[in-house]
Structure 1
């Protein structure tokens, strides 16, 4: 049984006299697995940082088509540990290093399918960042290809590991505090997309659209809470503020910066999602209402003040039981490692899978359904019409088989 780390004491200046021979509470598990990171931009470097913090795997090597990205990743890694990752000359070398135990694909969205095919030829377990693809055709091709893969493929939908959503699922599913659920609403208010190498995230052709690139996280959460399949989607959205005058190599940005989405589920649950990407700070909210009460989660990150993230869950049961509001947090080191601690717990699931344990993590099928809802919403914005999921899937070329 693994024991909890006492990181505050273990890293304290006045505890540096404790030698390795006397480390028990401060002892660290030696990494059992070797990790290869493919794509060393923002997310790739976050995964490298979290791997060091968790300590169950070491970063064996990295590959990126941009030497500057690998340079930055090596420098950041050196500040955290003494290991120097291998730098592979090409994708095939990275995927087929015999010392590698798991491959992490953190490249731009539009490259996922092609890279995954090379990675699967190695027979190794794979972690694939969200969204799994940019088009329904690629997403289905990816799903079908994975069916013959001998090892697991985990999708990087890490928001399900945020503290407030883990608590929300516990209240709604395990405790059944709300009774039968009828409505779910989520919202995200945040600043614009950040800069990327080549500014690939400013174009629908590279991302699948904002609702695919950014919001697949939220559709994954709504799908999980609804415990059903979406049957109808209507969305309204567009471009109001961000990147209206942006162009690169003569191509003008066409990415949306706000949207409203309504979703009907087969079990009768109705859901909504609101996105606004021209706000000064970050905030997210989920509201779930059932026959017995209402659940509300909230997360706010004031990055201008550099204040710690404030997350909470509120359960309102009226005469059905005790109502309460609870502040939530992970240890500061974990929250600071990336995505308010969600990536850390996503890595735990990845390591547990490598250990052969049964885990709750984002499967390829769940990744596909987050894509289906997001892509149908993008189609609804483009056409101005409500979209039947069955008709939408049958209208794909080739038609989507579920």
Structure 2
């Protein structure tokens, strides 16, 4: 919305909730709605395009009015493609690591003063917003496989038609719209047929399911496998016989780093320039974000919520800081993570932690119209020798601040916010 205003378009919008920093930015641009909510009288015949986000449901009164008037309705990803159809499009896809890999690429391009647009799923240091749409010749898109809108029920990645893409790996997610793993996997099978002619795919070669999909695909695109870069020590990697400094941790991030390197190489950036630019990259917001470093104890916050992400993140912190015990804390917040048919996917996901805590807010279950969880079933599903299951936010806060955990590193993982629990250590 802000970029469209900057381009000279007249923009209005509606939502039932708008949070900071978005609200202040919309107010400053003069386009914040006067009242929150949905008002069909806002939909008039002089509107050229209605852009629909996932938050608007099929019975939304403004959507129904726009449909009845025959207005041009586009999902957000369809609009992004429409705005970028004359650009070179790079799409970072996969079940995990998308935001970090995208952020790495954006970090390098910005430091090298390249002109580019972008769409990314987290607030990044050095970037005012999470999207930029201009007349730049290149766009970097974080490609989510979730549905595009309530009336455009195809994955967002199916809209973008990439010239270059990464698939980081495949692990079942979004059980509410993909109730089986096969239905989820199929979206990536279909994705490979959306590439522009002579496109390029970089795919993670140690994912057997992904490799099988790529091998069976007949599209006329270049398919290039990759793995993680080699760790030299805690602060550097090896590449082609040379050592380069880095500021990230975790083997999964060395995989993301190599994917980012390959994309940048395809954009004409040489090895020395890439590693010089990436050296001070510390991660995207809530992606192994360091909250505290006091008295020899580290506290990290991470967006990990799907099983593969939880396992990779927990393992990364334990391996990088193996001299200290690790307290791993996971909030079950998404529909998938609270679904009893999906929860067994978390088996051993917290194995890297010496002490595990699984927290969920019973109010979240009520808001999602989901049944209560059986604690014994949860315990058996995670199968961790030292696990606490907590549903009260105050109890979680007290446990995290018990003296016996003062010499533990702490890893907080959530796609929510622990019911607004203070994250002070």
> TM-score, normalised on structure 2?
0.28
| Structure holding more strand per residue | 1
Q: Answer 1 or 2: which has greater helix percent.
A: 1
Higher relative contact order (CA 8 A, sep 6+): 1
| TM-score using structure 1 length | 0.29
